[in-house]
Amino acid sequence: MSKPCAKRPVYQRPNFWGLVAAGLLVLAATVITVLNATVYNAEAPVKDYVAALKAGEGDTAMAVSAGYLSDEAPETISTVLLDGEALAASAAPLKDAEIVAVDAAVPESFRDEDLTQQVVEIRYRDAEDQTRATGVVVDKTATSWLFFDHWEMHPTPLQQVELAPSRMPEDAKADEPVAHIYEQVTPLLGEDGERGVLAAFAPSIIELEYHGTYLEAAETQSHAVTDVLAAGATTEFGFQVELTPAVDEAINREVQQQLERCTGQTVLKPAGCPFGYETTNRVVPETVSWSIGMLEVQYSWDGSEPAIDRIMATAELSAQEVDIGSGQQAATDYEEVFEMSADLELTPENLRVRPEWQ
């Protein structure tokens, strides 16, 4: 009799389609994770915002950041930095900016308990090669297809920067002084002589030039807008203002004109004038001629008002004297240094001197 054949153990083949499905799930999870980390991440809207700033596209930057002006912003606030070449120039330091989500507390004024929020830093280097960082807040506003996060910048107020020149006379507003920011004209003073205010995106670098006829900031002034302050808050852009060389020229011209009534007198002691000449000799009247050399003016500041401390000048006399003993005639050249005081009325575009010796 033949022996019955032994049965082989039965092995169940793996379910091919089950493996495919499991693989697809793993792949999908990986794709979702990668997309949420690289595309649908908190940094994405901030990258769009920075790109708009660098391109000078103010409308786009406003839309991405949901930018707005505070209700307390003055009606005369300057917007020259919010679009075009001036905006692009102010954002030039962001050329190689790093945009990084950080573990930091959301500032109270930007906090929304109903949303998932994240602080994102814009890191860059300024003109002095110093590292700076500006933190902005982004909100997770939705999730699409159950997996993909949608982030938007939290509504961000435009920053208000007050122009604060160190010395600006009380009546300066009448001259409507203007500064130039990246070649764009902006008022240096606001209404009623108050400080001028600029609206700016953060981060940005403001470069200002001011050259009035009699007052100026001798060098280009810079101010960094780094922190994102709450709506209505302001930062101060302070800079030094000095007298221009035209002040000396104008004072010299005015004093010379006022002394013409002295130099026009062909006498040794002009009436009502701060100089004169004495001699025991006889002077030929028609040869008497007075002139005034270049003045030296010393100034001080009383708060925001410049004042003249003193004016030093030289009176120069040319005449012919006749010796009373010998009758011999000779030329006389005489110089007298004298000092004057005067009141100065000065604004950026106007100047008036009131000598106190009259």
Does 137 map to a domain? no
Same domain, residue pair 263 and 351: yes
- Look at residue 192 and give its three-state secondary structure: helix
How do residues 153-175 score in pLDDT, each as one tens digit? 999 999 999 999 998 998 999 99
Q: Is the pLDDT of residue 29 over 50?
A: no
- According to the model, what pLDDT value does residue 33 have? 47
* Number of structural domains the chain divides into: 2
* Residue 135 counted as domain residue: no
CA–CA distances in Å: residue 99 to residues 121, 135, 201, 221, 331: 6, 10, 16, 28, 83
pLDDT band for position 180 (cuts 50, 70, 90): very high
In the listed set 192, 213, 243, which residue is the last one of a domain according to the structure? Answer: 243
CATH of the domain at 226: 2.60.40
- Which residues are within 8 A (CB) of 39 and not within 5 positions of it... i.e. 6 or more apart? none
Q: Kindly tell me if the per-residue pLDDT of 16 is higher than 50.
A: yes
Give which of 289, 291, 288, 292 is closest to 313, Cα–Cα. 292
Choose the weakest-confidence range: 32-41, 117-126, 273-282, 303-312.
32-41
Chain centroid to CA 119: how far? 28
Do 234 and 252 belong together in one domain? no
Residue 232 CA to residue 73 CA, distance in Å, equals 7
Q: Are residues 257 and 322 in the same domain?
A: yes
Say yes or no: 347 and 309 in one domain: yes
Q: Decide: helix, strand or coil at residue 175.
A: helix
Cα–Cα distance for residue pair 253/244, rounded to 1 Å = 15
d(C-alpha 167, C-alpha 240), whole Å? 7
Give Rg (Cα) of the chain: 38
Percentage of the chain modeled with pLDDT above 70: 87
**DSSP bridge partners of 101:** 120
Residue 52 forms part of a structural domain? no
Q: Same structural domain for residues 249 and 273?
A: yes
pLDDT value of position 129 = 84
pLDDT tens for 53-102 read 999 999 999 999 999 999 999 999 999 999 999 999 999 999 999 999 99
Structure confidence at residue 27 (pLDDT): 47
Regarding whether 260 and 238 lie in a shared domain, the answer is no
pLDDT band of 121, cuts 50, 70, 90: very high
Q: Of 219, 243, 267, which residue is a domain's last?
A: 243
Residue 181 resides in a domain: yes
pLDDT at 26 over 50: no
**Residue that terminates a domain, selected from 199, 220, 243:** 243
Contact 304, 242 (CB under 8 A): no
Q: Which domain holds residue 305?
A: 245-355
Statement to judge: residues 238 and 252 lie in one domain: no
In this structure, the answer to whether residues 164 and 264 fall within a common structural domain is no
- Can you give the pLDDT at residue 236? 97
- Is 4 part of any domain? no
- Residue 115 clears pLDDT 50, i.e. is over it: yes
- What's residue 10's pLDDT? 47
Let me know whether 277 and 303 are in one domain: yes
pLDDT at 178 over 50: yes
211 with 267, same domain?
Answer: no
CA-to-CA distance for 244 and 213, rounded, in angstroms?
A: 7
Residue 282 in domain: yes
* pLDDT reading at 28 higher than 70: no
Mean pLDDT of the residues in the chain: 88
228 occurs within a structural domain = yes
CA 147 to chain centre: 46
Yes or no: say if 47 and 39 are a contact pair by the CB < 8 Å rule.
Answer: no
**Could you tell me if 349 and 260 lie in one domain?**
yes
Whether 313 has a pLDDT exceeding 70, the answer reads: yes
Q: Is 120 a domain residue?
A: no
The average pLDDT across 205-209 equals: 97
Q: Is the model's pLDDT at 17 over the cut of 80? A: no
- Per-residue confidence (pLDDT) for residue 295, from 0 to 100: 87
249 and 351 both lie in a single domain: yes
